[in-house]
Structure 1
Amino acid sequence: MLKNIRLAKKEMFEKNYKLVIVQNNRIIYKSKASGIKKILEIYNETPNLLKNAFVADKVIGKAAATIYYTSFIKECFASVMSKDAQEVLKKSDIDFSANKFVNKIKNRNNSGMCPLEKLTLKTKSNKEALANIKEFYNN
């Protein structure tokens, strides 16, 4: 039987999910949607899904890392993770790994920086970053 983060990674890669959440060696959530909107919805509506969870996420930028940090997840893996996300996660007890670390997350058409990465770039606290993320999706 695969355990936690290995199970999440396997499901993500084999079935092409963008997000897989595992608790107690069971997949409790999976999504093929791009972006962090699903993570934010879980954070706002069912935060217990994230607490002590193991998360495999296709892309983790600073915005996603901030949500994971404030959700008290146990471990996360990303295909691609930004250095700013890495810095957020280093300040926590969250174990993390990635196939590739990049300076910044790009937007979907690769013409510039991801809008949420840009939005959280200069924030001084996770609280401020989270408020900016929520405001972005409320507009």
Structure 2
Amino acid sequence: MSRSNLEVVKKVLQEESELSFVLQDSEKKLYKRTEKGIAPMMVLLETGEKPFAGGVIADKVVGKAAAFLAVYGGATALYAGIISTPALEVLRSFGVDCEYDKEVPFIENRTKTGGCPMEKAVWEVTSAEEAYGILKKKVSK
């Protein structure tokens, strides 16, 4: 995937303010989602088609949970408006090209009273497969 593909999804995310997530798959098909958190990634991963494989992602906020989902799905590059340091470490350790606007120590929960529960759920995890399993159970509750 070229840097130009990453620019495409980044531009779509920035221009269409209602979007939270944009994916361009390996065949250049665009997937646009508006759900919050990791929901857009989980929805696409649950189709079983592996739409991330060879694709590029643009997401407004990427914590460690979302980073593991990008890796699990086979994304090659990712842009984040805001990214946590642990998410950046995951993406770099798995060779996912990454671009972002702002790095933060952790992702806050929606009420700004602590850390994101999804990021916390995989804080100590090192495997994308294990993270996906944990997140799938957490989302289904």
Tell me the TM-score normalized by structure 1.
0.91
In 2: Cα distance, 1:20 partner to 1:53 partner: 10
Partner SS for 1:70? helix
Partners of 2:9 and 2:140 in 1: how far apart? 30
Cα shift at 1:87: 1.1
Q: Write the letter of the residue equivalent to 1:15.
A: E
The question of whether the paired residues in 1 share the 8 Å contact of 2:5 and 2:56 is answered with: yes
Query: Matches of 2:51 and 2:101 in 1, distance apart?
Result: 24
In the alignment, the residues of structure 2 paired with residue 124 and residue 33 of structure 1 have an alpha-carbon distance, to the nearest angstrom, of: 26
Q: Aligned residue for 1:58? A: 60
**1:18 alignment partner in structure 2:** 20
Q: In angstroms, what is the RMSD of aligned CA positions?
A: 1.7
Contact 2:84 2:106 (8 Å CA) reproduced: yes
Aligned partners of 1:67 and 1:130 also within 8 Å: yes
Deviations 1:82-129 (A, max 9, x none): 111111111112100110011000011211100001111122422222
Distance in 1 of aligned mates of 2:64 and 2:98:
13
**Aligned pairs, how many?**
138
- Moved beyond 3 Å, runs of 4+: 23-27
- Hey, what's the Cα distance between the residues in 2 that align with 1:114 and 1:72? 23
| Contact 1:4–1:24 (8 Å) recurs in 2 | no
Q: Which whole-Å CA distance do the structure 2 matches of 1:101 and 1:67 have between them?
A: 19
2: distance between equivalents of 1:130 and 1:39?
11
State the match for 1:3 in structure 2. 4
Asked whether the equivalents of residues 26 and 54 of structure 2 are also in contact (C-alpha less than 8 Å), the reply is no
1:33 aligns with 35
Equivalent residue in structure 2 for 1:114, among 76, 98, 116: 116
Q: Counterpart of 2:135 in 1: which secondary structure?
A: helix
Q: Trace 1:122-133 onto structure 2 (pairs within 5 A).
A: 122-133=124-135
